[in-house]
Amino acid sequence: MPKITFIEHNGTHHEVQVAVGLSVMEAARDNNVPGIEADCGGACACSTCHVYVDTSWNEKLPVKDAMEEDMLDFAWEPSELSRLTCQIRVTEDLDGLIVRMPEKQI
Ligand code: FES
């Protein structure tokens, strides 16, 4: 199973094994990783599953669609590295993925 590392804003690391097909948000939720609130349950309607992902992963990540781009406008301190974890399906290619949480979710 792919391994994903979540890094909280305070630097705390959480490494979790994730079944292919789950979303990165579900991986955090199922492993009690703090900092990903996912208020809308994964419907791309809240932005509280916001993280930063290094651009070196861009080729392996699904392309950001217009809805995700729009929702990220409501996230806390979005940047060009911002993604919504509910919109990223875990594949074998994402083994080793590192995502960093913002200071807070809004
Ligand atoms: S869980 Fe609401 S946008 Fe991702």
Please tell me the total count of domains within the chain.
Answer: 1
**Mean pLDDT, the chain cut into blocks of 10 residues (106 residues total):** 98 98 98 97 98 96 97 98 98 98 97
- Domain of 50, CATH number, reads 3.10.20.30
CA of 106 to the centre of ligand 1 (A): 11
Residue 51 lies in a domain: yes
Residue 32 lies in a domain: yes
Distance of CA 41 to the CA centre of its chain: 13
For 84, the domain range is 3-100
Ligand 1 atom at minimal distance to the Cα of residue 38: 1
Check residue 88 and give its pLDDT.
98
Q: How far is the CA of 103 from the centre of ligand 1 (A)?
A: 17
Place of tokens 């703090």: 34
User: How many A from CA of 42 to the centre of ligand 1?
Assistant: 4
* C-alpha distance across the termini of the chain, in Å: 31
* Element containing residue 25 per DSSP (H, E): helix 24-30
pLDDT at 71: 98
Which tokens sit at 33? 């990783």
The reply to whether 106 falls in a domain is: no
Q: How far is the CA of 37 from the CAs of 10, 59, 63, 83, in angstroms?
A: 16, 26, 22, 14
pTM (two decimals): 0.97
**Among 23, 29, 37, 44, which is best to mutate for testing ligand 1, by the most ligand atoms less than 8 A from CB?**
44
Measured distance CA(22)–CA(24) in Å, rounded: 7
